[in-house]
Structure 1
Amino acid sequence: MKKITVFVFILAVAFANAQKDDNTSDKLTFVKGTQFINLNLSLNSSTSDLDAQTQTQESKNFGFSINPSYAYAISDDFFLGIGLGYTTNSRENDLNGVMDSEVSTNSFSVFPYVRYYKGVGKKLAFFVQGETQYTRSKSEVNNTNARTTNTFFFGVRPGLVLMLNKNLGLETSIGALGYTTSNLEDEANNSEVDFNSFNFSLNSTNLLFGLSYYF
């Protein structure tokens, strides 16, 4: 919810700047040959407690992700790019002060993409990004019972960029519309399961913030 509130605030500021810019100059345009490097970072940490008459449970969660990418404009406002990603998550459950279980997940991804910008002010532009993403994740419970998941995503993400100066842009995107297919292999019981879904998501897990350097 906090992420969505921040997104709405940025959107409001961006529109205010676009309104002012409309009266003074042309729309933001990225000419052919422009390049940019983008970096998205996220960090989350939480703790929950449950006190009962006979036991006390505590759960600690920690997650971190980093997603660098590079893109090149093959024509005005139209970019081809590629990105890499790494995500790690861990959850530790304690029972009466003693560790009961620990779940850890590490994921690596690669995502080639295309992106088209539409300027709406001197410093603001909306964009639509079409991408194909492959992610390989491995989860373990107490360092055993490994589960490996291979996931493909095909879809689009809308977003906007607000240029802070000539080269530096504040970027955000929310939501994803697309098709996801996954294959899960569970070593504990030697099983394999396939998942397929087509959905449109606006939840906070698909809300991304980052900085881009254009040159």
Structure 2
Amino acid sequence: MKKCFMTLVALVVATVASAQVYVGGSVGFIGSSHDGTTKNNFQILPELGFKLEDNIAVGIVLGYAQDEVSVEKTVAGSTVTVSQKDKQFRISPYLRYTALKFKCVDVFVDAGLDYIHSDNGSVKNNTFGLGVRPGVAVNLNDKLSFVTHFGWLGYQNSKDDYDGAKATNTYGVALDGNNLTFGLYYNF
């Protein structure tokens, strides 16, 4: 058993040692205000990846997001602001396949898993997903790449964390602005 374990460790170390490492991620902020209602969304999605071959990579995204909604209401002649925050933690491992390579542009698809834990102060929610996300990397030089992901095709199961809660299953294709991210990668 010990020899099998040591062989497995040596194999993993050899694979990781020969892999190219990249770090990066994306940051986003969206704000809107209309008729006394203000909505703000902030997210930070750091990423770590290993290029195993020229067109195959594995990676993981660890992220945090916060949605805040503030509503102004007039009560007995006074204006009162009511706010609610929804905090999210995300972990998303993926396998990346680079399908097309041009001079400085790579077209790829990420196939991955998602786990998202949300907490708005009163209700907690857990979401599990499986899907693919296409993307494009513009290699600015040997070390720096501008990366964008757009769209999503997959399945998600979401359930609030209380007794008797029913799960929500979502599947399909999403090509809206909520599935568009921009980021930078540094290649070691």
Residues 41-93 of structure 1 deviation map (CA, whole Å, 9 limit, x = unaligned): 000111112xxxxxxxx111111000011111222221111110100011110
Aligned counterpart, 2:63: 85
Residue 100 of structure 1 and its aligned partner are, at CA, apart by 4.7
Residue 101 of structure 1 and its aligned partner are, at CA, apart by 2.5
Aligned counterpart, 1:205: 178
1:45 maps onto 2:23 in alignment: no
| Pick aligned residue for 2:83 from 86, 98, 102 | 102
Aligned counterpart, 2:45: 67
Identical-pair percentage: 28
Residue 102 of structure 1 and its aligned partner are, at CA, apart by 1.6
Letter in 2 for 1:35: V
| Pick aligned residue for 2:115 from 134, 139, 144 | 134
Residue 99 of structure 1 and its aligned partner are, at CA, apart by 2.3
Aligned length: 168
Aligned counterpart, 2:159: 183
Residues 177-210 of structure 1 deviation map (CA, whole Å, 9 limit, x = unaligned): 0010011135xxx641211121110011001110
3-state DSSP of counterpart to 2:161:
strand
For the residues of structure 1 that align with 2:166 and 2:80, how far apart are their CA atoms? 30
3-state DSSP of counterpart to 2:141:
coil
Aligned counterpart, 2:145: 169
Letter in 2 for 1:112: P
TM-score, normalised to structure 1, is: 0.74
For the residues of structure 2 that align with 1:123 and 1:117, how far apart are their CA atoms? 13
For the residues of structure 1 that align with 2:101 and 2:57, how far apart are their CA atoms? 18
Residues 147-202 of structure 1 deviation map (CA, whole Å, 9 limit, x = unaligned): 1110011010001000111211111111000010011135xxx6412111211100
TM-score, normalised to structure 2, is: 0.84
Letter in 2 for 1:38: G
1:122 maps onto 2:103 in alignment: yes
- Whether the aligned pair in 2 keeps the contact of 1:185 and 1:193 (CA below 8 Å) is no
Q: Which runs of 5+ in 1 are unaligned?
A: 1-31, 50-57, 141-145
1:155 maps onto 2:126 in alignment: no
Greater relative contact order (CA < 8 Å, ≥ 6 in sequence):
1
For the residues of structure 1 that align with 2:29 and 2:168, how far apart are their CA atoms? 27
For the residues of structure 1 that align with 2:101 and 2:19, how far apart are their CA atoms? 21
Residue 33 of structure 1 and its aligned partner are, at CA, apart by 2.0
Q: Which runs of 5+ in 2 are unaligned?
A: 1-17
1:192 maps onto 2:170 in alignment: no
3-state DSSP of counterpart to 2:103:
coil
